[in-house]
Structure 1
Amino acid sequence: MSTELQETVLKLTSLKPLVKGGVDSTGAQFLPESTKARFDKYGVDYSNGYPVAPDTSEIPVFVDEVLKVRNKEVPYIERGKNADPEKKALFGAAKEVIHLTKHIGTEIVGLQLSDLTDQQRDELALLIAERVVVYFRDQDLSPQKQLEIGQYFGPVEVHPQGGRVPLEHGGVHVIWMDQAKRKGFLKTSFKKTGGTAHWHTDLTHEFQPPGITHLHNDAIPNVGGDTVWVSGYAAFDKLSPAFQKFLEGKKAVYKSLHGYIDRENPLSGPKNIEREHPIIRTHPATGWKSLFVNRAYTTRIVGLEPRESDLILEYLFGVFEKNLDIQVRFNWKPTKAGLGTSALWDNRISQHYAIWDHEGEEPRHGTRVSSLAEVPYFDPGSKSQREALGLSLD
């Protein structure tokens, strides 16, 4: 890059046209009352603005800078791998265990996440690996304890520019579409939804994408605001054996949500971070195969012609989105006033969709902690879920 061009680029990046950092100085006044009560109880100081993000000067601008943030394998312990298959410690302490559908979704009644022992956490990790998503209503949960639980399951992701709860550790992220719309970051209406109101899997562009993600909603609409999850295990089992074999061993390209500047071609506009992962991946706890693509962030299949890739991906996206029997829709509303609801799901084996039917007329606010997992891999000796459970493959 010439000196003159480099100076121009530095001037452009000093304006930070691609990022929005710092603190939302007016956001705290719009916080839902239930969120304020939770934060006040657990000593979260939002008086100087909410949410917070890194200062604009600290946010990476160039693609190569962002790749360096997490570009080497870090140790990961799969907590569910050696857990009691019968989950006696977890189930024995619960008042009720409710399987919401045949293929996905379980609700645990009568337990506080903040009180779980390590043995119960391990068994919960295995349950999530088997049932994809697990729910806990009526939770009195601090953001600090939510972070601690996330750190137990794996290294907690800290986003280079995402909005956060004002804690020393930046890994408790804010999920608050109302605020994004108010600030003009998000154009959402009845006819055009956005934000998390689309099928996606979180952070699939990461070198080690998340395993267990924990969203705790502390402000929930009286009606609406549901979320839908879908199973990657069951999506794989929907495919013909010949198609399964075709996909096994192939990789796809996964892009980031945010764009950054290409240092070698700085005037070409924002570029997404891209990484390759297996289309079919094996879960380390269950050993089951899962289909690992999503419409939001999977861009192409490596080695195929563009039209071939587009046709195949469109079909695979439809397997997730059109098969209601492998989905679960969950309403977050707690049974006790003043408490919140938690969902813990495995990003390796799922997609989800936050439904915008409440249209922001009632507040919806949550805090999310994502625990990074292993580098995605495919084990040719692994089985599908139905094969492993001895179910019909027809």
Structure 2
Amino acid sequence: MAPAATSQKISEKDDLDATIKKLASLKPIGHSSYTGEIKSGYSGSWAEKLPETTKARYARHGVDISKGYPYVPEVDKIPKFVNEAYAIRNEVYPYVERGAKADPEKKALFGAAKEVINLTKHLGTEIVGLQLSDLNDQQKDELALLVAERVVVFFRDQDLSPQKQLELGHYWGQVEVHPQVPRISEEFNGVSVIWQDYYRAKYGLHLSFKKAIGGNAQWHTDLVHELQPAGITHLHNDAIPSVGGDTLWASGYAAYDKLSPAFQKFLDGKTAIYRSAHQYVDPENPLKGPKYVEREHPIVRTHPATGWKFLFVNRSMTVRIVGLEPEESKTILEYLFSVYEKNLDIQVRFNWRPTKEGLGTSAIWDNRASQHFAVWDHEGKENRHGTRVTSLAEIPFFDENSKSQREALGLSLD
């Protein structure tokens, strides 16, 4: 090759490298719906805006917010390239399904409770009279099984520290530390801040009466793009509107049972592509625009604790069914999304209000076998603030010999 041609090739490569670096330096690529600038570090003024109940919770449990609140990871710690995002958790992490060997009767957990209230026939349970911070390992295992069976379990009147919430998360699996999401502080990796007021102001999340869908105010399942997606998720709300601000959950077990046997047979063994909420620069094709992290998982999964099949899709992040033509995949996925979203008999709606002033409420759910939706009906006129910890679970699998929930429980499908 002539020296001039070689020099031109080197120059072109240098230009491309410079372009890639410039794109990545503009800002860390954020959520797909956000186009503004991401500000990292501590937010000083927002510490003053914290709800009084949140401040009191943090003060009781020695959580220092004097540097500001919340903390967003520094720019140089946020992945900008898609290969960096993949590398965060790209190796298999040993996972123990705590509910798999728990007492099916849950005597230790139920025996310590004042009351156990099932909110619907097969979805949602409230446990009264127990403090999550006081659970022993046997009760934690039984709670993991209860969550797997009932999808979501609620505890009101909790005086729960973020430290204990994080400890519970580590017991149930590898705690997910999100590289971009705001957290309490640098010391609380894995404790994400759920505060719509902050997201509206700082990230441009547009929620209003006319547009009440966005962020967590839509049907979704968390972290489906992970090699080992979310298992148990624990949201503790320490500031709750006096009216409104409910959350809904829908059961993936029941969604699967809603399908005809022929359709179930068609879906069993199929896989789909699941993507991240955030986007990144593709160093191989930087000018083609931001790129998602994508993983391939079974569209019907088997739960390792219950052994039941469940439908694993959600409108926000399930992209396409592998092996089908685009229009075929789009039509089928649209129907599957609607099964989750439109069947009220497979959903439960929960109001977070505690019965004792100054205390909070926890919801602990199985993120594998469910979708959830935070309702924006309080319109931001009252505070809604919480902390969330998610434990990652197993690599998704499908066991062809597993049964559906209703089949396993001997329930009629008619």
Pairwise same-fold verdict (TM > 0.5)? yes
User: Within the alignment, does 1:245 sit opposite 2:256 as a pair?
Assistant: no
Structure 2 spans left out of the alignment, 5+ residues: 1-11, 31-37
CA distance in 1, matches of 2:295, 2:15: 31
1:196 to 216, 223, 245: 216
Partner residue in 2 for 1:352: 372
Q: How many residues align?
A: 394
Partner residue in 2 for 1:2: 13
Deviation string 1:361-392 (CA, Å, 9 cap, x unpaired) is 00000000000000000000100000000111
The 5-angstrom pairing of residues 82-231 of structure 1 reads 82-193=101-212, 194-231=214-251
Letter in 2 for 1:51: P
1:32 to 32, 42, 51: 51
CA distance in 1, matches of 2:173, 2:255: 26
Partner residue in 1 for 2:27: 16
TM-score, structure 2 as length reference:
0.94
Name the SS for the 1:26 alignment partner: helix
CA distance in 1, matches of 2:262, 2:280: 39
1:268 to 267, 284, 288: 288
Higher mean Cα deviation, 336-345 or 10-19? 10-19
The RMSD of aligned alpha carbons is 1.0
Partner residue in 2 for 1:75: 94
CA distance in 2, matches of 1:332, 1:390: 33
Partner residue in 1 for 2:306: 286
Q: Please report how far the alpha carbon of residue 22 of structure 1 lies from its aligned counterpart in structure 2 after TM superposition.
A: 2.2
1:323 to 320, 337, 343: 343
CA distance in 1, matches of 2:220, 2:28: 26
Name the SS for the 2:362 alignment partner: strand
Q: Please report how far the alpha carbon of residue 17 of structure 1 lies from its aligned counterpart in structure 2 after TM superposition.
A: 5.1
Q: Please report how far the alpha carbon of residue 167 of structure 1 lies from its aligned counterpart in structure 2 after TM superposition.
A: 4.8
Higher mean Cα deviation, 179-188 or 275-284? 179-188
Distance 1:167 1:341, change over 3 A: farther
Q: Please report how far the alpha carbon of residue 269 of structure 1 lies from its aligned counterpart in structure 2 after TM superposition.
A: 1.6
CA distance in 1, matches of 2:397, 2:385: 34
Whether the aligned pair in 1 keeps the contact of 2:71 and 2:186 (CA below 8 Å) is no
Deviation string 1:312-347 (CA, Å, 9 cap, x unpaired) is 000000000010001000000000000000000001
Return the index of the structure with the highest Cα Rg.
Answer: 2
Whether the aligned pair in 2 keeps the contact of 1:44 and 1:167 (CA below 8 Å) is no
CA distance in 1, matches of 2:56, 2:344: 37
CA distance in 1, matches of 2:357, 2:153: 21
Structure 1 spans left out of the alignment, 5+ residues: none
CA distance in 1, matches of 2:132, 2:159: 8
Name the SS for the 2:72 alignment partner: coil
CA distance in 2, matches of 1:191, 1:184: 19
Partner residue in 1 for 2:33: none
Identity of aligned residues (%): 71
TM-score, structure 1 as length reference:
0.98
1:381 to 391, 397, 401: 401
Distance 1:167 1:4, change over 3 A: closer
Q: Please report how far the alpha carbon of residue 27 of structure 1 lies from its aligned counterpart in structure 2 after TM superposition.
A: 1.4
Whether the aligned pair in 2 keeps the contact of 1:60 and 1:160 (CA below 8 Å) is yes
CA distance in 1, matches of 2:273, 2:42: 33
Name the SS for the 2:368 alignment partner: helix
Letter in 2 for 1:366: G
